[in-house]
Every structure is written in C-alpha cells, then in structure tokens.
Amino acid sequence: MSETVGVSLLGAGNIGAGVIAALSAGASRYAARVGRPIEVRRVLVRDTARVRAGLAPHQIVGRLEDVLGDPGTQIVIEIMGGEHPAREAIEAALRSGRHVVTANKEVMAKAGGELLQIAADHGVRLLYEASVGGGIPVIGPLSRDLLANEVSAITAIINGTTNYMLTAMTQQGADYADVLAEAQRLGYAEPDPTADVEGIDAAYKIAVLCGLAFNVEIRPDEVARQGITSITARDIAYAERLGYVIKLLASARLISGAVAATVQPTLVGANEPLAKVDGVLNAVQFEGDLVGRVLFEGPGAGPGPTSSSILADVLDVAQDVVTGRRPLAFVPRRRLRVALPAEHEARYYLRIAVQDQPGVLARIAAVLGEQQISIASVIQFDRATADGTAELVFTTHQASGGALQTAVAAIRAMDVVREVGNVLPMAG
C-alpha cells in the first residue's frame, strides 16, 4: 500500500499554480483530514524547460503518457481548459483507472453524462465542483445535501464578468462599451469577451447544472441564449424606475415533461436576493419540494476560489483512495424534450422608440391585445431628438413567448415605430 495519495495535474497556469501552492501550504492539514499525505507526482505542461515554483524537474512532463504511465498517480486534476484535448485526456485518465477532478465547464456541459458513465464503468470518480460557480459549493450540495429533494427550478448568476458589468452600469449610469473597457482594464473581461458577454459561458454552466439537478442531458446549444450587448444605460434606468435591476440570469425549469433552459438579461425585483448579488460574485438558487428555495452565493472565479473547489474534490476522492470506499452507482441521464422559447411564459419588459404623435400607444396596445397579452404598465419618456422620437416602456402580465414573438414582429413592422429596443423577461 502506498504511503501517500499521488495526484498529477494536467495544466500549470494560474489555477494549477494555485493548487500546487495550496497543497504545499496545507500539506499537514490535508494529510490529517485524508489520513495520508498528498503528493504531487507529475505536472503536464507545454513548456517543460520553464522553471516552475514548487516543482522539481522530474515532476514536470510534456506528454499525457508520462502522467498515465506513473504508477503512483491515483488522482488526475484536469485544468487545461477548452474542449480538446482536455476531453480526450479526461477519458484516457478514467479508462486507466484514475479518479479525475476537473474545472472544465465546456467538457462537462458537452460530454458530462458520457464521461460520468465511463468513470462508473471503471470504478472511479469524476468530480467537477469547480466547473460551475468557482468557489461556491454547488455540485456537492446538489449531489449529497439536496439529494432527497425533487429540484424543479434553477436560477443563477454564474458569470462574474457580466455581473460586474451590469453592476457597474447600474451604479455608475454608464453604457455597455464604457463598462466593458473598464472590465478589460481590471482583468475581469478577456480581450475577446464573447464567451462571457454573449452568455456562452453561462450556457455551459446551466447545462452542467441541469444534468445534476434534474438528471437530464441538455446540450449547451439547446439553451435559449441572449447576451448583454444590447443593454443600455436607459434600460438600466427604466428598470430602476420600475423597481427592478437587470441581471444576466441562467435559468432552467421542468415544465410538463420538458426542460426549459435559458440565459438572458432579466429584470429582477429589487428586493429579491439575486438582485443584491453584485460585482464579480455569483449565486445559484435551487427550488426543491422539501427544502423550498435555497441560495448559494460567493466568489465565482479566480485562482483562490477555483483552487478551493478543486481541492475540496481532491480531498473527497483522496479519502476514497485511503479507505477503499467505492463510488456510488451512476444513474444514466434522461433525454427530455427541450421546450422552445415560444413555449416559455413570463412577464415582459418592452422598450420601443416611436414617432411622438397621438394614437401610437393605442395602436401598440391593440397589437398586444390581439395576442392576448395584457399590459401591466406603460411609461412614456421623451428623447432629445430632432425627429420627435418618444420612448415607450411597457411591462406585461404573464404571456407566452410565442405570442410575444408574434406581437413584437407586428410592432416592428408598424410605420410609427422607429425601433424595438429590448424585450426582456421579468422575475420577482
């Protein structure tokens, strides 16, 4: 029997360096919790000639075979990022009989069910707490503490970049382009922010959560997605006047034998807990039949929070290695019908620029009425334009997405309408 639990890392960037440093700093504490010291065996990197803090030359390798060929490696930590070659590396590690801990949201969103089945077939575990929510414990509570619940809905703020930007727009009254530039300067947004601002990152994460919460396989491209690029300072101000704040929400709900999953800017009631999640913080809210509504909140990204989640998984599976505990059986995921956006129901906010003349509001109201969409409120704002443009902000009662799509198309075609600015759901 080995006197240590051997771990090897695939990747040694900021997150990898944080994991290695934490394993060294907490060595005695982790050994006491696990019952055996944790030893870093191999670290797979692109540049093997580069000197890396805390690592001896023999620990640094350049091929996956050097990791999987090491008999002392029992746990593989994948932090390469991206879908390929990370997906293939995770599968190879599982098939070799190694437990795997990953932070890879894209791989788990696209192939999580398949990889979890491979892990079960080979008597090992695949843990992925760090793939959603950074340092927020979400996966663990769902798979253990909330296991007795039938989870019916997930609502989450799970992208720190967009939450920072929308918070800045709310607090500073600034427009999208200005806060994006600020977020990039501060390192919160990448030089190419597409994955964040278009909701792609959040779509990966809500797909992962659907698999765990509902035991339903949903592809990221099946998530109805809208980013924040169209949100203006006016939308933020109008929402505030109505008693709301705008957040990029990732949501999923089981409805009539189907799963509805969305990522979209949403007006959230100012007194709702999610409305108060600001800056780079993330939050995930579950609704269960026994526990009701539960909210987890905390830092969503960065080396510290992500390392925390990775190491929690490492310690968990290391205890399995020491005690010989076998993983629970994997229940194959269901494939449910994915509800189309036209089937979704919500209250809505509509911002429409029109010619400032009598009868316009009544004509728009008539179009909404034809689709059985009831107006909850309407506010007119004058805009300082030479062509006499006014801006109307409607809120509606509950309506189907299909009815709204039909109404918006008809409104957009009206000769008195200059622009349909934003159409956003409302919550809380």
Which among 154, 142, 132, 129 is positioned nearest to 285, based on CA atoms?
Answer: 154
Is 205 a residue of the active site? yes
Length of the chain: 428
**Separation CA 334–CA 258 (nearest Å):** 11
Angle at alpha carbon of residue 146, lines to 143 and 152, rounded to 5°: 100
**8 Å CB contact between 152 and 289:** yes
Among candidates 326, 310, 308, 320, which has minimal Cα distance to 35?
320
Q: Is 40 helix (H, G, I), strand (E, B) or coil?
A: strand
* Cβ-based neighbour number of residue 88 at 10 Å: 12
| Range 217-223 contact pairs with CB under 8 angstroms and sequence separation of 24 or more | 217/113, 217/333, 217/334, 217/335, 218/252, 218/259, 218/261, 218/336, 218/338, 219/109, 219/110, 220/106, 220/109, 220/110, 222/261, 222/338, 223/250, 223/261, 223/262, 223/263
Q: Which of 105, 110, 205, 247 is catalytic?
A: 205
Name the residues annotated as catalytic: 205
